[in-house]
Structure formats: C-alpha cells, structure tokens
Amino acid sequence: MEPTDITNPEYFHKVVDCQYACPAHTPVPEYIRLIAAERYADAYMVNWESNVFPGVLGRTCDRPCEPACRRGRVDEEPVAICRLKRVAADNKGDVTSRMPVIKKQKNGKKICLIGGGPASLTVARDLAPLGYEIHLYDEWHKGGGMMRTQIPGFRLPEKVLDEEVGYILNMGIHTHFNHYVDSMKEILSQDYAAVFVGTGAPKGRDLILPGREEAKANVHIGVEFLASVAFEHIKTIGKKVIILGGGNTAMDCCRTSRRLGGEDVKVLVRSPFADMKASAWEIEDAKSEDIPILNNMPPKEFVVENGKLKGMIFGKVKATYDANGKRSLIPSGEPDVFIEADDVIIAVGQDNAFPWIEKDLGIAFDKWEVPVLNKVSFQSTLPGVFFGGDSAFGPSNIITSVAHGHQAAISIDQFCNSKDVLERPAPTTNLFKQKMGIHEWMYDSPVEDDDRFKVPHARKELTLKNIKAEVELGFDVQTAFKEAQRCLNCDVQTVFSASKCIECDACMDICPTSSITFTMNGEEDELRTRLLAPAENKSQDLYISGELHTKRVMVKDEDVCLHCGLCAERCPTSAWDMNKFLYGVTKVTKII
C-alpha cells in the first residue's frame, strides 16, 4: 500500500467517526470536552455553528453519530452524544451576545425562502450575516416547520424551539407567516435574487383499504394528526387507538394518543420488528408507556358498524428473504385478527409534494415527482431555484436538512455573485499538538471504564397526564461530566513520523487494542491478515507509514484505537505524537 496521505483532510476526518457520520459534521469530541470542562456556552456555540439547533437536536436528533461512535465498537454502548448536546443547551445561560452581528447595510440582494423548517432557517442563518435581505414564507403562524408540527411537546418543549428559531429570526429575517405559497410563478415574478424551497415532506401517506371512506371520521393521517395536536385543534382521542406504521412518526402518534385519553393504544407493524424504521430509543419509550407493538400484521380492512368505526382486521405474515436479501411478506396461514379501535392513525410514510410549483417554469421533476437537483449544489434545473431538506430528496431528518441548508447557502451565495455553484470551499482543518510534558496531555487521555449513563425520565403518572410535560429530564451536570469522560477523543489523532522511528516496538507492545504492527508492506487485503489483531472492519482505514530502516512499515488499524496516547507516551523519539484535529465544514461566512 502507498503511505497514508495525512495531509488529505478527509483522512483524519474519517477517524473521527461521530463527526464523519454527522450530516453537518459537528465536531463532537470538541464540544464534549467543553462540556466536561463546564464550558457549556462554548460547547453550545460549537454546536450552533454546525447544526444550528443544538437544543432541539439534543432532544430529537436521529443520532447518526451514535451507531458510528468508536466506543460502541470497544464497549457495549456508544457515548450518549445526543443527550450531552442537550446538556450544553440546557446549561449555556445567555448566548445572545455571541450571535453574529447583522450589518445594517444590506448587500441589495433579496432571497426568498419557502417553508420555515430547519433547512430554510439554516439558509437564513448562514446568509443573513452577509447582508442578504431574507424573506421567509410559512403556512403556519410560527417558524420551525416540522420541528413544531411533527415533534410532540413532551419530546421538545415549545420554548426550546422558540428560542432557537428566535436566534435566526432575530437576524432581521422578514417573515411572512400564515402565508401558504400557492404559486411558484408568483414568487419568481418578484425581485428575488434566488429562491430556496424547504417545504419538507408534508403529505402523509394514506392507506386505501375497504371501509376507509366509511370510517373517515375516526381515521387520521399521522403527520396531520400531530400538527393538529400541536396547534391544539385536536385535544382528545378515543380510548382504543390503533397506530399503523413502524417509524418515528408512529411512535410520536402512539405516545401522543396516550396523552389525549387513549388507554388501549397499540402499534401495528406489517413487517418484523427488526425492519421497523423507528429509532430504538423511541420504540423503547413507547413500550415504557404501556404501548404494545405487534409485528408481522398487515392491515386488511376497517370494520364499520352503523357508520361508526369498530376496529380493524389484520392478516398475519412472516418475512422471507431471497438470495439478494430482498424481503417478501408471505401469509403465515394463521387466521386474521380483529382488533377493536375507536380511532386509527395511519403513519406509514410521507412524501414531498409540490402542487404549487407550476410545471412550465423550467423546474424539472423526475418520475417520482421529486425535483431534479445537483447533489452537491442543490440547484434545480432553473438556476436561481434551490431545494433542501425533505423537499429535496425525500423524508430524512433535521440534521440532514441542516446540512442541506449549509450547502444550499453556499450555492446561493455563489449564484448571487455570478460564480460557479459547483466551486465549493475547502474544509477548514487544524492539527494541534497536545503534549504538555512527560505523561501530560492537553486532553484527558485515560479511558474511563464507565458504562453509558441513562437519562432520567419524569414519572409516567405525571407525563401521561400533561401533554406538554417533557419526558426526558436531561443529564445533571455531574452525570454529564461522567458521560463526557466516556468519549475516547477520537479527534486527538495519532500522528506518525517515519523518519524519527527507531523501531523499538514500544508502541506496538503497549497498545491496549493491538492496533499497531510493524511488518513488511503488501496489498491491503493481504496486509490486513498479517496484523497483530484481526483487522476485519474494512470501513476503517489502515494508516501506513513510509518505509522504515528495516524496510518494514508501520501499519495502524484505525478501527479500535482508543486514542489513549500510550503509543506516543512510550515512544522515545516522539515519532508518535498526539495532535488534535479540528475539521470544519466551511460555511458561507464565518459564523462565530
């Protein structure tokens, strides 16, 4: 193999698994260390710069970082990254003085943002400091989009959302609330320099089954139901409720139902548990609120008697997988099951919908009615129109929408300055020595043995009575410190200089996880078989040095390195050094 090029920013970035997995590439270990140091406001701002909604995400994020966390590969559970983020938000104090200063002098360009959700708000946050005049349209009376309409208050208190939406709207954004944009043509006829569409995936899918029409008074579409509850148009529900679907919306619907009077609430999933789309922790929370989840039961029909919904009939299936892993659900032969219900909520998916975009504007849509976009610039086929969030590539999550927003903001700025939108700024990187003395580093290098700490929950008797009562209470600062110390500091990189190495083997001998081997070079697949410990995780790179005195090379398997610094500590010549690598996705302008 060729020696590793550590000057390529993506090499060390990939080693920081959590940051690499985060769509917005939030520098996770950096803010976790700040939390451990009780610098909550600093930790908050590191987050805010990257992901714009730390308080919201600290409660509701899909956490792509956690399955990626290296701790999960060497210990039973990953670091509770998401809930640590919340600690920063909860304890930050007043950060208004740290927010970007918005110039009075505008640059003369007007930008239109359609939809007030996380993608649009991110574009607004990134562009406002540059002097753009930003107009934001939303059909509701407040900003926040799906964060407000689809996430129940017991998971995300309104004041947390209001605060973080407020930071952006206070940047002099011109809001046009209660204004449903019904014609793109009309928007384009105005003097906007660019238009950003962040209208999400607002159309909940329906299930057309026998009896659906007759039962319609008691059949609800998940996302519409959640929005109606959020705006208090729906305040009660029947005692017996069936939720159809296995995603996070289904989990929110069932838990909401429990708070609106639902006593016998069941979730029915047509596929096996293992294939449920909902996050494991949301399933766990639903179960802990006495909500059974029944799997392998596809709905067959709504049963209506005397014009009133009585329940639903479900079939029973089992999943079989063909050689390619493709699943098919085949009837198990068991008799159909009738389940009583006063109300049924259908939460089987949602789609983006653009009935308001005229077809003759030059904005092309593909056969699935999804806009044709450049995947890097988010530019549509009409150069001044950009898409982001769920409206771009279909339903995803908040953090993905934020990542889209950052990139779309760059594109819009390039476009408005008549530059090529595909010319993207390079990431910022910083490699910083951590050595302070013998056995002393600027980070807490010892690896803590603690297991993951559980976030305390409010008592069920209280939370089920009050739909606004937040269930999760967040870590207290003492527990947060301990959880923060579980972080392996994967951004503190092991940097090797072949020219200094005397091949004493000290690093190889001390490494707790046997990640370092000195051996003859070879092709990657073959080399992986010759290392001290099995190197089977090919998604993790091998760090290869140049040729050493004995013609061997140093090979480090990045997979389960604990970043404990012992290699550098046992190195007599400082051929190993621990350097903190800070990777930043470049924004349109410096935010903080």
Partner 1 sequence: MTYIKSKIRHPKQPKNSIGYVKADYEGALSTLCAGCGHDSISAAIIEACYEMSIEPHRLAKVSGIGCSSKTPTYFLGNSHGFNSVHGRMPSITTGANMANRDLIYLGVSGDGDTASIGLGQFCHVIRRNLNMTYIVMNNGCYGLTKGQDSATADFGSVNKSGTENPFPAIDLAGLALELGATFVARSFSGDKTQLIPLIKAAMSHRGFAFLDVISPCVTFNNNMGSTKSYEYVRDHIPATAAHEFVPQEEEILISYPGGSNTSVRLHDGSSIQLHKLNANWNPIDRNTAVNRLQQAKINGEILTGLLFVDKDSRDLHEVINSVDQPLNSLRKELLCPGTSALNKINDGLR
Residues of this chain that interact with partner 1 (CB under 8 A) are: 73-75, 439-441, 445-447, 449, 502-506, 508-510, 512-515, 533-534, 536, 549-550, 560, 562, 564-566, 569-573
Using CA atoms, how far apart are residues 44 and 25, in angstroms rounded to an integer?
15
Query: Least CB distance from residue 583 to partner 1, whole Å?
Result: 24
Element (H, E) at 351: strand 350-351
Cα 525 to chain centroid, rounded:
33
* Residue closer to partner 1 (CB basis): 319 or 533: 533
CA dist 360 and 339 (Å) reads: 48
CB of 568 to partner 1, least distance (A): 8
Q: Which residues pair with 267 in a beta bridge?
A: 243, 293
For partner 1, which is the closer residue by CB, 74 or 171? Answer: 74
Query: Alpha-carbon distance 66 to 79, whole Å?
Result: 7
Closest among 496, 513, 502 to 562, alpha carbons compared? 513
Residue closer to partner 1 by CB (options 17, 49) is 17
Q: CB-based burial of residue 368 (10 Å sphere; 0-12 exposed, 13-18 middle, 19+ buried)?
A: exposed
Side-chain half-sphere CA neighbours of 83 within 13 A: 23
CA-to-CA distance for 526 and 544, rounded, in angstroms?
A: 14
Residues contacting 97, CB < 8 A, separation 6+: none
User: Is 117:198 a contact under the CB 8 Å cutoff?
Assistant: yes
- Return phi, psi of residue 350, to 5°: -145, 160
Query: Which lies closer to partner 1 via its Cβ, residue 190 or residue 550?
Result: 550
List Cβ neighbours of 338 (8 Å cut-off, separation of 6 or more): 303, 311, 312, 313, 314
Looking only at the bridges linking them, the beta strands covering 194-197 and 110-114 are parallel
Q: From its phi and psi, is residue 290 left (phi > 0), alpha (psi between -120 and 50) or beta?
A: left
Angle value at C-alpha 142, between 140 and 144, nearest 5 degrees? 95
Least distance between partner 1 and beta carbon 260 (Å): 45
CB of residue 281 to partner 1, shortest distance in Å: 23
Closest separation in Å from C-beta 208 to partner 1: 48
Rounded to the nearest whole angstrom, what is the least distance from the CB of residue 537 to partner 1 in the complex? 9
Q: Give the distance from CA 335 to its chain's centroid.
A: 41
Closest to partner 1 by CB, 74 vs 294, is: 74
Query: Which of residues 276 and 490 has its CB atom nearest to partner 1 in the complex?
Result: 490
The whole-angstrom separation of Cα 139 and Cα 178 is 4
Question: To the nearest whole angstrom, how small is the minimum distance from the Cβ of residue 575 to partner 1?
Answer: 10
Smallest gap from residue 520 Cβ to partner 1 (A): 10
**106/528 with CB nearer partner 1:** 528
Dist CA 285 CA 256 (whole Å): 12
Shortest distance (Å) from residue 518 CB to partner 1: 9
CB of 445 to partner 1, least distance (A): 4
- Nearer Cβ to partner 1 (361/533): 533
Of 307, 430, 319, 401, nearest to 30 (Cα)?
430
Q: Which is nearer to partner 1, 367 or 439 (CB)?
A: 439
Shortest Cβ 505–partner 1 spacing (Å)? 5
- 65 versus 566: smaller Cβ distance to partner 1: 566
| Cα–Cα nearest to 273, from 281, 265, 283, 264 | 283
Among 156, 153, 207, CA closest to 349: 207
| Phi, psi of 133, deg, nearest 5 | -95, 115
Nearer to partner 1, 241 or 566 (CB): 566
Judged by CB, which is closer to partner 1: 261, or 546?
Answer: 546
**How far apart are CB 295 and partner 1 at their closest, in Å?**
30
